[in-house]
Structures are given as C-alpha cells and as structure tokens.
Structure 1
Amino acid sequence: MTLHHRLLILCGVVLLAGCARSGPTLDVFGPLPENASCRVALLPLADRSNYPQGGAIFYKIFLSELVASGRYQVVPEGDILEIYQQLMIYPSQLPSQEQLEIIGGRLGVSLFISGEILSMREPRSGVYMQPELTLILRLHDGRTGAVLWSTYHRRLGTDYHEVLHFGRINTIAGLARRMTREIITLWHQKGLAPCP
C-alpha cells in the first residue's frame, strides 16, 4: 500500500469521525402510558458537578423550554417543592422508588422527569469560554415511578461552531438551552406526543 493510499484512507476515517452522532441518546425501558404527555412534572435535578447552582440553572432553563414548547402542561415548581418538603427530600437528592410513587400520586401526573447533571464546566480558552455539559434525564411513569425513558446528552459549546465564530456557544446557559431543545425534539420524535 502506497503512502498516497494510506493518506486517503486516513482522511476518510477523519471525515467519517467528524460526522459521528453527537445528539442525545435515548434508551427505552418501557412504553409510555396513553395520553402520557398531557400533564408532566419536572423534579429538581441532582447536581454532581462542582458548578455553582448548576442543577438549578439547568432546571430553570429546561422548565422554561418545556413550557415555551406549548406541547405540555407543566406542574408548577412550587407544588413539587412542597411535596419534597413534606417527604423531607432535599432538592439536590434523587428520590427513592417509593418516594417517586408517592410524588406521582400526589401530583396526579402521568409522567414526570428527573435527572442528574453529571458535569458542568465553563473553562476559559484564550478569550473565549468553552462551556461543556453532561447530563442524564429520565421519564418516569407517574403511577409506579418506574423509569420509562433515559436520555444521555453531552455537548461542548464548540460542537456548534460552524464558520469562523458563527454558531459557537460561549455560555453555559446558551449551551443548556440548545441541549434542552434537542432533547425535547428527540422526545417528540420518539413518541412523546403533545397534548391534544
């Protein structure tokens, strides 16, 4: 094999690697209940990152994007926090299976969303910030608390870089908003139908 052929193969591999899938990954563990998406609740997210108020930031952004999509009736945050207080659950903790059943019953929802922020960073690279975010979101059956769907998503702000500096995301809030839209779009495509 000549050097020219090796270089062509190497270029082909590099180009194919550049086209690798970078969107959210959805794992399905069970079917969605009928009319599942009409009323949903977003539970506080557990934050495993060291980013100050990272879970709260992503929670607010995800909640606002769910409401803005116009596809779902979302339970107010205060109702959820009241139940957390009654069950003595810290908002930064993931509820147990038994607690999830109680939460679903009290909220009267067919689905609720929980999740974890695994990594949230905003390091500086020269003049620009390089935000990165890794998270897992889970859709639970409102009656049993069982996990129906799990979505893993990891992105860097530079993943959206197009030409020159266009498309580049320089803030963690901008990255979270973009990732949220990708997740909601994926869920909609996979069968989480909007309210009729």
Structure 2
Amino acid sequence: MPFKNQTDDPTISNLFYRIFLDTLIEEAHFEIIPEGQIRRILILERYTGNKEISRSLINAIRKRTGADALIIGEILESNRKELKLSVLIYAIDTSSGKLLWTTYYSKTGEDYRKVLHFGRPFTMTKLAKNMADDILYTWNEEHLGGCW
C-alpha cells in the first residue's frame, strides 16, 4: 500500500515507499503482491488514500490477492536540509483486521557516520535505503513477517 505523507515534502512518501518496496522484494522472506494489482483494487474500491483503511478494503484485498498481511506506512518527519527521516510502518492481518506489529524508525544522516564522514549518507535516497535495510534486518531478527 502507498505510504501516507504527514510532511510538507510532497515527494518523500513516494521516495521511501519505492525504496522500501524494492527492499522488501529483494528480501526472500516476503511474497509481494504486484503494485498494479493493489492499485487496481484501490481504484475499484474508490480508496483515495486520504482516509483510514476500512475493514471492507482489507477484505477486498485479501479476497482478490490472497494476501495474509498488509504493510502500511506513514512518513512522519522529513528534513532534506538536516537529512532526517521518521517513518511509522505497521502490518495488519487481513483475516482479522488486527494489528500484527508496528515499527517506528527515525534517523539522521549523522546516525550512520562511522569515522570522519565515512558511512554517512548525503542524500535522502541513501538515508531511506539505509533505513529500509535496518528495518528489514530488525524484522528478520525478531522473526516478523515471512517464513523463517
């Protein structure tokens, strides 16, 4: 599902969503429903993205795709000047509609500095990729998501 944008940066939710989706696809533990299939369901169900996800929408996604869970997210904070990003990602069980888990993650470019300037990302794209990798690493460590 596309991520909601709670910031003034109009492109950040799409940027993080695309990077996170690519990272999920690279991860062998998750089976991803193609984005076009989800977007078609959203159109058919007249979901605009500005409101909460209803139980009927969750049921429609489960019925049409067989998905066990939905990964939904929000971009809470974005600052390109200071290179800071905060996201909230949660998983919903499509059979019950209950929350499976929530991940809040907030980082700055400085958080990735190792020595001098080494390791520090200098673009929002690289920061988002580092964060996506960290989130999936944590999910794997906690055995959240796919089959292990």
Contact 1:100-1:144 at 8 Å conserved across structures: no
> Is the 1:104–1:144 contact (alpha carbons within 8 Å) kept by the matching residues of 2?
no
User: Which of the residues 50, 70, 74 maps onto 1:112?
Assistant: 70
Q: Determine the C-alpha separation between the residues in 1 that align with 2:88 and 2:145.
A: 21
Cα offset for 1:99? 2.2
Question: Which of 173, 177, 182 is the matching residue for 2:134?
Answer: 182
TM-score with structure 1 setting the length = 0.70
1:91 deviates by 3.7
Distance, in Å, in 2 between the alignment partners of 1:144 and 1:60 is 27
1:90 is the counterpart of 2:48: yes
Question: 2-side partners of 1:147 and 1:85: how far apart?
Answer: 24
Q: Is the partner of 1:74 in helix, strand or coil?
A: coil
Deviation at 1:104, TM superposition (A): 2.6
Give the number of aligned pairs. Answer: 148
1:103 aligns with 2:55: no
Q: Which amino acid aligns with 1:111?
A: A
CA offsets 1:120-157 (integer angstroms, 9 cap, x no match): 1201xxxxxx3111110001102122111011000001
* TM superposition shift of 1:94: 3.7
| Unaligned ranges ≥5, structure 1 | 1-42, 124-129
**1:65 aligned residue:** 23
Percent of counterpart pairs with the same letter? 31
Q: 1:70 to 1:185 in 2, by over 3 A?
A: same
Q: Secondary structure at the match of 2:122?
A: coil
In structure 1, distance between residues paired with 2:38 and 2:19: 17
Report the counterpart of residue 141 of structure 1 in structure 2.
93
Q: Which 5+ residue runs of structure 2 have no aligned equivalent?
A: none
Partners of 1:94 and 1:58 lie apart in 2 by: 20
Q: CA deviation at 1:55?
A: 1.0
RMSD of equivalent CA atoms: 1.7
Deviation of 1:194 after TM superposition, in Å, equals: 4.0
Corresponding residue to 2:118 among 163, 166, 177: 166
Which amino acid is the alignment partner of residue 106 of structure 2? R
What is the TM-score when the length of structure 2 is the normalising length? 0.91
